[in-house]
Amino acid sequence: MEKIEYTGTVFLLDHKYPEPLLNHSIKKLEGLGIKKEDITITDSPEKPKIGAIVVEVFPYHLEIARVRTIRNDSFISGSVMTIELKADADGKYID
């Protein structure tokens, strides 16, 4: 699996998902070379910088993007990659 180049904070966007999903998402990001201590879980990044990594969490995949532009208090990002999250029949994440 390829590594993600980043500096500073990586924002993991949480929209009130269960803790097992967030923990598995962090595990997957660590597999991409992102340090756990660099990950900030938030519902909206506060003052992201151009080039920052933003990870959108969904129940069955992660959408990893890089901030390209900042306008007012919003950011526009471009997708870097999508990571599939796999679960067993009981709903436990398995990869």
Instruction: Tell me the residue range of the domain where 80 lies.
Output: 10-84
Of the candidates 1, 7, 13, which has an alpha carbon nearest to the alpha carbon of residue 64? 13
Average pLDDT over residues 15-24: 91
In a domain, 3, yes or no: no
CATH code of the domain covering residue 67? 2.40.240
Task: Name the pLDDT band for 48 (thresholds 50, 70, 90).
Answer: confident
* Tokens encoding 6: 């980043």
In a domain, 80, yes or no: yes
In a domain, 56, yes or no: yes
Question: In whole numbers, what is the pLDDT of the chain averaged over residues?
Answer: 90
Say what the pLDDT of residue 1 is: 61
In a domain, 68, yes or no: yes
**Bridge partners (DSSP) listed for residue 14:** none
Q: How many domains does the chain have?
A: 1
Q: Are strands 74-84 and 61-71 parallel, antiparallel or unpaired?
A: antiparallel
User: What is the distance between the alpha carbons of residues 74 and 77, in angstroms, rounded to a whole number?
Assistant: 10
- Selected residue with higher pLDDT from 89 and 21: 21
In a domain, 77, yes or no: yes
C-alpha count within 13 angstroms, C-beta hemisphere, residue 92: 2
